[in-house]
Every structure is written in structure tokens, then in C-alpha cells.
Structure 1
Amino acid sequence: MEYLYGIQIFLILMFFFFSYLILIRKNYRLISGFHSSSPEEQQQMIKTGYPQAVGKMMLHVGIVLTLGFLLQLFHIPYAMEGSYIVMLIVLLIESLLMTKKRKKKSQKINKTVLAVSFILVIVVFAIPFLPNTLEIHENSFEMTGLYGEEWAFSDVEEISLYDELPEIIIRTNGISMFGKHLGNYRMEELGAGKLFLRSDKAPYIVVHTQDNFVIINTDQPDKTMAYYQQLQQASQQNNID
């Protein structure tokens, strides 16, 4: 968790630092397209307030991320995720407003970039909501969907239900958003394994294999319990065979 905090603090400091360089130090060469413009075009952008608008946008983003980080420290649910959403909204709106302050031949390009960025934002935030489904095969079980994988029952050592999970140390290759954790993680006591967590509420199915572990739950406790019973029954049947 300290690793994630470090990344968040780095992003916050970066936005504040660049806003300082632009607004206070007036280092406009940091702004994309300013250095390549002619002196006349640069003066026109300064006159319309384009560099100042860029600096203020970075300042606003830094403030939004700082508030999200502080609320997260007080364990406010989804504080950081919410701040990222607000950050993206600020970036989109203020970038759109700034297109009017740029030279005309750049406005069409900027609007196209903004439209593509908006679509990408929607896609990124939709990814955690793509479903994962448990499928039981004759000699294995599989989690389909994003970060899906298949495990042989011959490799399963134990299937347990947890009311509380050890703390996540680091996400090595996955997605954590809106209380959902999907992909590869390292956890205290358990080591490295794979998570398919659709909710931060118990119960959690923990499957220990010979090499690692996989943890599964859904946003419906009854459905999670049904998954657990299916896994237990299929595992016991394979052991008998």
C-alpha cells in the first residue's frame, strides 16, 4: 500500500511543480506547441491567456488529487477513484475551453484528441465491470473474462472461505478500481496470486494451489457461496476419482 501512496504523491507533486513553472516562473516552453510556434503566434497565445490556462488546469488537477489522497487516508470509500474521475472531467472541460485560445489550425486537432481521450476514459472505467464467470470442467475450474485462467483440480491443495483477507501489498499486473481487484497481486501471509474480487465484502473463496492461490468473490454473497459449493463438490469428486 505504501508503494501506491508513493505513486499518488509523485503525481500530485508533478502537477503542482509544472503549474508553478508555468504560472510563477512563466516557463511557457514546457507547453506543447508553444516552442514550435512563431514569435507572433506565441505572443498571440500569451495575449489570449492560453499558457496561464494550461498552468491553472495543472493546478486544479493537483488540488483534486490532493483532496482525494487526503480523503483516502481517512478511509473514505472510493475517495481516490472519485478524484480520478473528477480529474478527468477537469482535464476534458478545461482542455476543451483552451482550444479557443490556441491558433485556429490547432483547434480541430485538439477537439479530435479530446474526443478520442473521452472515449478512452469511458473504456478504461468500463473495464472493471466486465464480467468474470466461474466454469467447472471435468478436471479443472476456470475463471473466464479479464485476467482469466484455468486451474487443474489435481493442483488444488485447499479451498476455504474467508471473512477477512490479508492486506494487499502490491498490484503486480491488474486493475483496482471501485472496490474491485482483478489480476495479479502480492498479499501479506499468502504471497503472490490472482484476485477476482468484485466486492470488498465477505465471503471470499480462497483456493490454495501447489504454486500460488486464487481468491474469488462476487457482489452477491449468495452467488459467492454457490461458487464455493460448486468448487468443493467438484474438487471432492476429482479426489475420489
Structure 2
Amino acid sequence: MIGLVITQISVILLFLILGWAVRFKKAYWLISGFASRPEIEQEQLINSGYPQKTGSLLIGTAVGMLVLLPLSFTGFRFAMEVQFGFMMIVLLGGFIYLSKYEVPSKRKRSYIIALILFIVTLGPLIYLTVSSHKGYEMALAEDSFEISGMYGDEWDYRDIQSVQLLEEMPEVTWKQNGIGLPTLSQGHFKVTGYGSSLLFIQKGHTPILYIELKDEKIFVNSKDSAETESWHKVMKEEADIK
């Protein structure tokens, strides 16, 4: 939580300083590619207001993020998504808008590049966000169990080394390859005392089912504690039998 807030404040300060320098101190060289342009193009851009509006865009983004920052101190679970989603949409949308102030000979190309960047950047982010909020499902079959969704797979009961029902989730130290949201951890994470583990965790819900396989460690739970307990009962029986 503290690390996230520090990151947000750092980004806000960075945008404010850059925007102020460009907009009010005419440090146009801070704009990517501006300094390498021919002087005649630089003059055209300055006359059209391109660099000044770029500075205003950065300042406006910073102010918007600052207004949204208090969400991090409330019980709103999607504060991070709202804040960084706002940042991405405003910046990428702003660069599409700024294309109208490009030099005429490069205006069309600027629109196309900005639009492609908008789609390529936001498309996967939207997909990942929607997919991650769908979560996962556990299915218990006769000889195996399966966890659906991102990072999910199917495992045989005979590969289970041990099954435990934990009262709380052990400390997760860092994310290796996965999705870490305020409400969900899904993917590969480092867990204190267990090392690299595969997590399918609905945060704030207990108990936690720990499954140790021959070559993998899995933590999974359901929002319904009774369902998690039923998974534990079935897997314990199957692991003993197989």
C-alpha cells in the first residue's frame, strides 16, 4: 500500500515538473524528438502551440491523478485501476488530440501513429483487466483437478504430495509473473517459507488451500469458505487413495 502511494506521488511530481518546465520555462527539448527536428519545424510547432499544449497535458494529467489519489486511502478496491487507467487514457488520448497541432506534412502520420499506440497499449491492458476480474474456477474430476482462467492448468491427484488448509495466507514477498490486484492474486509469486508458488487467491477470504505437487506449489481459495473446505476434503481423500 505504502509503496503504491509513493509510486503514484512520484509519477504525479514527475508529470508536474516536466509539464511546468515545458509549458512555462520553454524547455521544449524535453519533448521526445523535438530537439532533433529542423528549426523550421520547431518554429511551426511553437507557433501552433504544440509544445505548450504538451506541457499543459502533462500538468492536467498530474492534477487529475492528484485528485484521485485520496481513493488509495479509502475502502475502494479499484483505486489503483482507476488512477492509472485515468493516466493512460488521458495521456494517450491527449497525444491523439495533439496531432492536430503537428506540422501539416506530418499531421496525418502523427494521427495514425498516436491512434495505433492508443489501441496497442490500451487493448491488451483492457483484456488483462477484464480477464483477471473474471478470476478462476476450480473443477474436481475423477482423476484430476483443474483451475481455469489465466495461469490455470490441470493436475493429476497422484502428483499431490500434501494438502493443507491454512487459516491465513503466508506473506507474499513479490510477484514473478502474474496479476496482483487489490482483490486478487493470480499467477506466480514468491511466498515466504514456500518459495516460488502459483497463486489463485481471492484476497480477504479464508481459509486457504495449499496443494504441494511434485514440481509445483499451489495456493487457492474461494470466496465461499465452505467451498474451499470441500476442496480440501476431496483432495485429501483422493491424495490418500491415489
Calculate the TM-score normalised by the size of structure 1: 0.76
1:172-211 paired onto structure 2 within 5 Å? 172-177=176-181, 179-188=183-192, 190-208=194-212
Q: Percent identity?
A: 26
- Tell me the residue number matched to 1:228: 232
Structure 2 residue 126 is the aligned partner of structure 1 residue 122: yes
Distance of aligned partners of 1:40 and 1:220 in 2 relative to their CA distance in 1, 3 Å threshold = farther
Distance in 1 between the 2:218 and 2:97 partners? 47
Number of aligned positions between the proteins: 237
Does the CA contact (< 8 Å) of 1:68 and 1:80 recur in 2? no
Q: Cα offset for 1:5?
A: 5.6
- Tell me the residue number matched to 1:170: 174
SS in 2 for 1:26: coil
SS in 2 for 1:40: helix
1:122 maps to amino acid: I
Distance of aligned partners of 1:73 and 1:22 in 2 relative to their CA distance in 1, 3 Å threshold = same
1:88 maps to amino acid: M
SS in 1 for 2:118: helix
Distance of aligned partners of 1:194 and 1:61 in 2 relative to their CA distance in 1, 3 Å threshold = farther
SS in 1 for 2:150: coil
Q: Deviations over 1:146-168 (max 9, x none)?
A: 22354764552232143x32343
Runs of 5+ unmatched residues, structure 1? none
- Tell me the residue number matched to 2:47: 47
RMSD between aligned residues: 3.3
Calculate the TM-score normalised by the size of structure 2: 0.76
- Tell me the residue number matched to 2:59: 59
- Tell me the residue number matched to 2:18: 18
Does the CA contact (< 8 Å) of 1:141 and 1:153 recur in 2? no
- Tell me the residue number matched to 1:160: 165
Distance in 1 between the 2:221 and 2:11 partners? 32
